[in-house]
Structure 1
Amino acid sequence: MRVGLIARDPGHPVLAAAAGALARRGCRVEHVGPDGGVGAGALADVYLLKARTPQALALARELERRGAVVVNSAAATGRCQDRVRMAELARGAGLPFAPTLAAGVLARLACPAHPFVVKSRHSRRHDLVALVDGPDRLRELVGRWPAEEVVTQPYVRGNGWDQKLWVVDGQLFAARRRSELAPEGEELVASEEWEPSAGQAALALRVGEVFGLQVYGVDLLDGAAEPVIVDVNAFPGIRGRPGAPEAVAGLALRVAGERAAGSR
């Protein structure tokens, strides 16, 4: 069995560990650079789409056109890249997603009442996620990100922690991590163990159904009446979660096996 990893860094801890687990099962694992292409030879049995750049999505779509199975699919991955469309899809399905408004270019932002959260409209590595608590903070961000296309969300006051849930083929992993919006200088460890409630777990699984995702992350905050989803990420890092690499490997084996059975 051949498994292709569409990733910028095949040495990412979760990918490397998943590749090791697959190799121990006799699989051949191949790195596929997201900026390149795949030759005219035989396709892999399944491709894992870790990269989310426009080039990676274009490559995934081409592979799918040629009959390959890609996890997550190009379409499902694309649903998580535009935060406005992400929020529209989630709220349209009845999910408690934070109201997310397109705000244009940051330098021309019509400033809502403080405090509020500003994020890059298009999700990517090292994008903009910041709390704006006054005009000085907004001016600082404009100086660094003047041409960034952004969205705004209401600020949900928390306790300095983000609730992170990751799902791999229906298997749930969770942790609390220091919020990007926590006041600077707070003495908090980077992450801590956290057990989601049954309702939070069910909500995370519902996200996968709505977005068509098999490997994904959900960021939750505690709202006044119910948990609030503030972001969904296709194929996140899932660092430090025991069992996650094995779950990724198991997903690849299951999908490839189903494809092989269907072609007989």
Structure 2
Amino acid sequence: MTTTHEENYAFPRGFNLGDLILEGNRMPLLTPSEDGGFCLLYDDVSEKKADALLESLSLQLLEHMPLESLRVEMFDFGRKKFYHLSPLQYLSIYRVSHDDKMIAEHFEELEHTIITRHQELLCCNRPNLNAHNQKSKLKQNYHLVLINLHHFPTTEIELRRIKNFVESAVHAGVYVIAFGNQEIETSGHEGVQTILKHFKNLRVTNNEFEITSEIFEHTQVFEVATFEPLDLARPALLEQIMTNANPEERFAPESIKLETDTKVMK
């Protein structure tokens, strides 16, 4: 998507993982987004805790960033995980691919976006999409790709494509959060291992988050502070996003402006 909107089209510098709590004071714990994303790995008892963080983080980004500047993309099969993201599908800011064919097509579209942006937009004085969007009137949107590692990459997607994707995505404004049960770490799938090794790993065991120096540089703070993972009021965030989008006005017939003075060529 391209837009001429003048709002600040910059992806936040960090992913909000929750709060540091010190003597009753709270401050957000951010892990840098310039790394391109992270892997969230949980054990059996911690899946709900991990899901709450993922959905809260996605909704918070959608609510915080200018309307339509971010699309959340999901690669996942099986049961629905994120009930408060689902209503955003008809606004085209959340998209789910839930079978091999859909995922293959979806991944190819993201690949095309990344390649096109590297070829046509990025250069020495615009090394990434944030830099481009600060200098250009034609803003490009960002993508947050949520990947269930148990279902992606599929065997049909070559390792070369996975490597190119993870290495070039962030500069083109495509961020990745891969997630899965910790058992995926023993997978023999080279594509899965490529993703696990490329991105920093955040582990959740027995509902406790392991904040390493890879995730947050100043780990010494945990000697005096505690960490509370992100678990926001998701219904309220969804309501605010819908209010910002104003779908009734957006899709009302009188708000749809058709082209005039068009000619039909015979």
Q: What TM-score do the two structures reach when normalised by structure 1?
A: 0.26
Q: Given the two structures, how large is their TM-score scaled by the length of structure 2?
A: 0.26
* Structure with more helix by fraction: 2
